[in-house]
Structure 1
Amino acid sequence: MAPPPAALPPLLPVLPVLPALAALLAALPAAPAARAAPRSIAVVGAGLGGSAAAYFLQQHFGPQVQLDVYEAAGVGGRLATVTVNKQQYESRGASIHALSLHMQDFVKILGLKHRREVAGKSAIFSGEHFVLEETDWYLLNLFRLWWHYGISFLRLQMWVEEVMEKFMRIYKYQAHGYAFSSLEELLRSLGGEAFVNMTQRSVAESLLEVGVTQRFVDDVIAAVLRSSYGQSVLVPAFAGAMSLAGAQGSTWAVEGGNKLVCSGLLKLTKANVISARVTGISLHSSEGRALYQVHYESPEGQGSAFYDLVVVTTPLHPSRSNFTFDNFDPPIADFPAAFQPSVTSVVHGYLNSSYFGFPDPKLFPFTSILTTDTPDLFFHAMDNICPVNISAAFRRKQPQEAAVWRVLSQQPLDKPQLKTLFRSYYSVQVTERQAHPRYDAAKALPPVVLHENLFYLSGVEWVASSMEMIAVAAKNVALLAYNRWHQDLEKIDQKDLMHKVKTEL
């Protein structure tokens, strides 16, 4: 039994102090009234960045804010599907890492499901032979890695795990409401200057420094980066680490298609999706505050609308969008950058297994083929893909059967190239995009804040391009917009955040 409480001191001696205390408090200046929420917010783009930004903005500013989302094409952006024989297949952006906590949360709140995994084996092709082949036996796979490359794969794993462990801090920071006004500040809060430097030096240089062999870089690292970014081992170390983390860890996808996350978030927020292409943003002022006029073109003609706050989630580059910014002083600078051409060919046909050294197609064991950086190779990767809806009775096609293959390349495949990869085919659906930044052309990271309440989300792709990086950037922009609107500077660009977060627990 607990001991009885100690006797309380007499209350009467304190009472004469209360009037004096009340008078002192009355003399203090009143706390500033909370600023009213913005009346209207515009989000430019309805891909994952735009839909996630709309969701997070509503979370922080409340459901009373008018949310307009502009999208010229379909909702989902690059998270698109193609139809083959009445079945839908992912064209790109198929895999989500198990540690993608925002994407996991989206799936949970939207009531979506993980797609059932269908096992398959991978191999790396040099143009003449397979330099590495996966088997059904885990220990045999490890032995082959060791036999060919020594302990390089262990050093790679340790390097990637160290980067990911620090990257995971962002979720704690965001859960406590902290935001960053630049990509450099965000990276610095996670891993110090080392993380910032990882955007300026190549993944090859970083891996060679930690003892990974050149042969492993040329065979394995190059193949992974060609598959994910369509680029070489000269991509920056941070972007490379994010890609290699996805190649190492377990991945998943959304049943019914990853684009359901975008449409689901917009439906959940009850955002007003406007089918129009935004052509520019001009600055005005009203009652001493910034007001942004968004100009757009729709099937009905040209129009415009005014907003208190704007988030741009489409890439601001002449090859991707023809944006103009008017009345800004100083003017909003151009973003000198380039994007990597990327072509996805979804082919329904019979694989030419002889090209890969298997004259009998029944003996071809691989469902995914990556390639080394060989000049004569005309494709980056190809895989035997499953539909976005997988029934319990689904089975993957046998190698001698007609199957749906997704081929990634830098240029559209011509007929001789298609005949090289396939004995025959029923259909070819080609999607050309400038999907990722040209990382070797990067000079500096783009800004996050373009003006007082005008923000740029897609610049995060110059750090790394993945679904989770975009979701992290969307959360950061929403927090940044909220904290700046309410002038809560203690939540922006704070130092020593790990210590601050621990003391707030």
Structure 2
Amino acid sequence: MRRPPWSTDGDACGGFSFLLTALVVLSSAATAQDGAPPSKIAVVGAGIGGSATAHFLRQHFGPEVQLDVYEKGQVGGRLATVTVNNNQYEAGGSVVHALNMHMQDFVKQLGLAYRRGVSGKTAVFDGTEVIAEESDWYLLDLLRLWWRYGTSFIRVHMWLEEVMEKFMRIYKYQAHGYAFTSVEELVDSLGGSGFLNMTRRPLSDSLLELGVSQRFIDEVIAPIIRLNYGQNVSIPAFVGAVSLASAHSNLWAVEGGNKRVCEGLLKAANANLVNAHVTAVRPLHTDGAPQYQLLLAGEEEATPAGAYDAVVLATPLQGSGVSFLDFTPAVEPAAGTYHGTVATVVHGYLNTSLFGFPDPRLFPYAGVLTTEAPALFFNSVASVYPVSVSPGFRRKGAHEAAVYKVFSPEVLTKEQLKTLFRSYYSVQATEWQAYPRYGSAAGAALPPVELRPHLYYLNGVEWAGSAMEMSAVAAKNIALLVYHRWNNQSHKVDHKDLMHRIKTEL
């Protein structure tokens, strides 16, 4: 199944043995002896992670390297659109945070435009009634939050500010050329043991320790997690912070669709897009630097592609069909599984009576999130606007036919559609293997980036947090790592106390 990136792409695995990491660190045979760049590099996957990797590799190695990007589906991966009445709507990752520096740089470098936002209010529904809602007045919203939840929202805000401030360190590290061989090393460099503990501890436990009320967790935090990850507040705290950051008001999207970023990056990188399904990676045993061969699914049997000096796997190993042949020791299968979710785009009339508004003209909300009520069959429903917003566009009221996006754990039945909508003209459901099922690899270490010398894995970063920017950060890290390994610049890899090191460099 195709997978979307919620800003959560919007675009992973855990449990590789520590032996593999040790082998990579000890190996120096994979470096070029004559200073020449690699001849050919393969990237498997053309989502935001794969396309960004191609872009950064081209920046570091220049025009001489042949970059082949393999994609079995559409460019964009978890960034995808559906068409309704000649307009396109986001079916996957929809929004990007204002502090996502790589995504912002991509838009500027590619000459893309920011999509005009369309305001709208959000409410939380518990299966019986609306229990929380936005108003037209910011101060009134603050007073309501204070009255119902006390200081909980302030505590969460301050916690998020601290987490985001530390996360921003990655841009300084990468600007100075530092890279990491594992997701665990990367996370540790940002916030030390505190950040690592956040990848292992449930979000709910962390928030309760901060003094956040259970009511706030159930009525505000849980609905946001259900929207972005389709899971509950038992997900790791670091993942939860990524999700809650996406609820920030200062969000943006790309005019014409977020997938245009992937298309533009591949074009700017002058990458060769190969529409093929990679089924396996196999080492070629040579006297010099290691090389790899990709096996492709043909009409009859797997057929070998050419030899590559480096391979980047920018697709989840779970469910991708990619295997590892003839490796000694064997590359272990990835631990954990992916969480399925369904994005259904409906053109019709919302049943506002379900939410306590018999007259749809009085329904004030653009979107409705839900609590973890057993009777609820959907995680959220919201009216959406096209990826290209005309100057005269207005968001339609609930008494008019509009386009809605519904997130649900399963494909909606006809009865469920009739419950949620008074009537409808069209329904398009997209099933995604969207993001890791965060409880499925509980206790496992965060995965390595280097699987073998010059064989890299990008999507392991999703076990720390799944978002477009997380994939972009991982792409930059891998491009730096490929470059440093090729040129034997080990002093730029897995360096400790980087904040102090960078200050001394300045």
TM-score band by shorter chain is over 0.9
Cα distance in 1 for partners of 2:429, 2:301 equals 30
Residue 362, structure 1, aligned to residue 352, structure 2: no
- Check 1:299–1:249 CA distance in 2 against 1; reply closer, same or farther (3 A cut): farther
Distance 2:34 2:371 in 1: 58
Structure 1 residue 500: Cα displacement? 1.0
SS in 2 for 1:349: strand
Letter in 1 for 2:266: L
Q: Find the aligned partners of 1:471 and 1:298 in 2 and give their Cα distance.
A: 31
**1:226 alignment counterpart:** 226
Cα deviation for residue 142 of structure 1 reads 0.4
What pairs with 1:11-26 in structure 2 (closer than 5 Å)? none
Aligned partners of 2:141, 2:76: CA distance in 1, in Å? 37
> What residue number does 2:275 align with?
275
Q: Which residue of 2 aligns with 1:112?
A: 112
Q: Which position in structure 2 is the counterpart of 1:154?
A: 154
Equivalents in 1 of 2:299, 2:44: separation in Å?
17
CA contact (8 A) 2:279 2:302 kept: no
Per-residue CA deviations over 1:46-66 (Å, capped at 9, x if unaligned) read 010100000011111111100
Find out whether 1:331 has 2:330 as its counterpart. Answer: yes
Alignment correspondent of 1:132: 132
Contact 1:98/1:249, CA 8 A, preserved across alignment? no
Q: For the residues of structure 1 that align with 2:119 and 2:323, how far apart are their CA atoms?
A: 48
User: In the alignment, which residue of structure 2 is the partner of 1:461?
Assistant: 462
**Counterpart for residue 247 of structure 2:** 247
Cα distance in 1 for partners of 2:197, 2:332 equals 24
The residue type paired with residue 115 of structure 1 is R
Query: Helix, strand or coil for the counterpart of 1:122?
Result: strand
Alpha-carbon distance between aligned partners in 1 of 2:492 and 2:259, rounded to the nearest angstrom = 32
Contact in 1 for aligned 2:184/2:448 (Cα 8 Å): no
Distance 2:126 2:75 in 1: 38
Q: Displacement, 1:34?
A: 5.6
1:183 corresponds to: 183
Q: Deviations over 1:415-448 (max 9, x none)?
A: 1110111000000000001101000112322221
Paired position in structure 2 for 1:371: 370
Give the match for residue 387 of structure 2. 388
- Measured after TM superposition, the shift of residue 285 of structure 1 is 2.5
SS in 1 for 2:439: helix
3-state DSSP of counterpart to 1:270: coil
Distance 1:145 1:378 in 2: 27
CA–CA distance in 1 between the matches of 2:301 and 2:38?
Answer: 27
Give CA-to-partner distance per residue, 1:207-241, whole Å, 9 cap, x none.
11011001100111000000000000000000000
1:34–1:486 CA contact under 8 A, matched in 2: no
- Aligned-partner Cα distance in 2 for 1:440–1:374: 20
Deviation at 1:299, TM superposition (A): 6.2
Which residue of structure 2 aligns with residue 503 of structure 1? 504
Question: What corresponds to 2:405 in structure 1?
Answer: 406
Deviation readout 1:236-258 (Å, 9 max, x if unpaired): 00000011111124100000000
Query: Percent identity, aligned pairs only?
Result: 59
User: What letter corresponds to residue 147 of structure 2 in structure 1?
Assistant: W
Q: Distance in 2 between matches of 1:68 and 1:323?
A: 17
| Post-superposition CA distance 1:129-166 (Å, at most 9, x none) | 11101001000000011011000000000011100000
AA at the equivalent of 1:290: P
Q: Which has the larger radius of gyration?
A: 1
The alpha carbon displacement at 1:35 in A equals: 2.3
CA distance in 1, matches of 2:165, 2:289: 41
Q: How do 1:233-312 and structure 2 match up within 5 A?
A: 233-298=233-298, 302-304=302-304, 305-312=306-313
Take 1:96 and 1:300, find their aligned partners in 2: how far apart are those partners?
Answer: 42
- Residue 104 of structure 2 aligns to a residue in which SS? helix
Change (3 A) 1:249 1:351: closer
Equivalent residue of 2:353, what SS?
Answer: helix
Q: Deviations over 1:443-483 (max 9, x none)?
A: 32222111000000001011000000000000001111111
Residue matched to 1:8: none
Runs of 4+ in 1 over 4 A off after TM superposition: 298-302
Structure 2 counterpart SS, 1:116: coil
The alpha-carbon deviation at position 188 of structure 1 amounts to 0.8
State the secondary structure of the residue aligned to 1:322. Answer: coil
Mapped contact 2:54–2:67 kept (Cα < 8 A): yes
Cα contact 1:52–1:262 (8 A) shared by 2: yes
| Partner Cα distance (2:249, 2:182) in 1 | 29
For residues 455 and 236 of structure 1, what CA distance do their matches in structure 2 show? 25
Distance 1:446 1:170 in 2: 18
Contact 1:230 1:380 in 2 (8 A): yes
| Post-superposition CA distance 1:317-347 (Å, at most 9, x none) | 1xx2112211211110001211111001000
Q: Would the alpha carbon gap of residues 158 and 34 (structure 1) be closer, same or farther in structure 2, given more than 3 Å must change?
A: farther
Q: Counterpart amino acid of 2:387?
A: V
Contact 1:284–1:327 (CA<8 Å) still a contact in 2?
A: no
Distance in 1 between the 2:436 and 2:70 partners? 23
Matched with 1:48 is: 48
Cα separation, 1, equivalents of 2:404 and 2:332: 42
Displacement after TM superposition at 1:306 (Å) = 1.1
Distance in 2 between residues matched to 1:399 and 1:432, nearest whole Å: 26
- The residue type paired with residue 141 of structure 2 is N
Greater mean alpha carbon deviation, residues 441-450 or residues 147-156:
441-450
- Give 5+ residue unaligned stretches, structure 1: 1-31
Amino acid at match of 1:393: G
In 1, the alpha carbon distance for the partners of 2:340 and 2:81 equals 19
C-alpha separation in 1, matches of 2:299 and 2:54: 24
Q: Which runs of 5+ in 2 are unaligned?
A: 1-31
- TM-score scaled by structure 2? 0.92
Match of 1:18 in 2: none
The aligned counterpart of 1:451 is: 452
| Aligned equivalents of 1:384, 1:136: Cα separation in 2 | 18
* In 2, Cα distance between equivalents of 1:40 and 1:286: 16
Which residue of 1 is the match for residue 164 of structure 2?
164
Counterpart residue number, 2:96: 96
Amino acid at match of 1:211: G
* Larger CA deviation: 292-301 vs 384-393: 292-301
Measured in 2, the distance between the counterparts of 1:285 and 1:197 equals 40
CA displacement 1:291-315 (0-9 Å, x = unmatched): 1001112569743221000000110
